[in-house]
Structure 1
Amino acid sequence: MTTGRRDGSPDARDPGLQPERTRLAWRRTTLSCTVAALLAVRTALHGGATAAGITVCALCLLLWLGFLRVAHGRVRSLSVPDRPRLLGPRQATAATLCTVALAVCAAALLF
């Protein structure tokens, strides 16, 4: 029976490039979220600043900071040489809610 491991033991792990690909995916997603937040700020301030525009703009920035915190923690956890810890349900929920709420805020700015 072959284990597919480098040293043959079931505990040894060769993750290959998977952690690097995941780390890059989190960075790309963070960059996309940053662009969306900046476009929301630009849209909110275009044609004069209103109270509603500034409120939505501030909310977009807070959501962006929340997503940035989750993403940075995930990127840091993937940089360990051993097996990285799994993404917890709280972090996954926070990242999902920040992303969806940012999309809703951006859509609200368009209408």
Structure 2
Amino acid sequence: MLTRSAADYERPSVSVDTILFATLDESLHVLLIRRGRWPFEGYWALPGGFVEIDESLEDAAARELFEETGLTDVSLQQLHAFGDPGRDPRSRVITISYLAQVDERQA
């Protein structure tokens, strides 16, 4: 029987994105950011980024949301995982998406 250990596998990068809804003037809005770097420079995207080796997925989502919006204490709900091997030209990236909602006072 052939067995492999975890060290025998290439490690993909892991990222998190947050779909942030805000209610403003009784209308629902979604927050998008403009990408600042290659490969998607100038494109609209959800706030997010790569997970550090020593943080949980939810901590990474909260950190990225704070870094890109200044928001804290936002309740995050894990939504879906995206893992198509060709979805990012930089490397193999698995993305975990989160859902959050804020009201006018937080927006």
Q: TM-score range by the shorter chain?
A: under 0.3
The two structures have a TM-score, normalised by structure 2, of: 0.25
The two structures have a TM-score, normalised by structure 1, of: 0.25
More strand by share: 2
Based on CA coordinates, which of the two structures has the bigger radius of gyration?
Answer: 1
More helix by share: 1
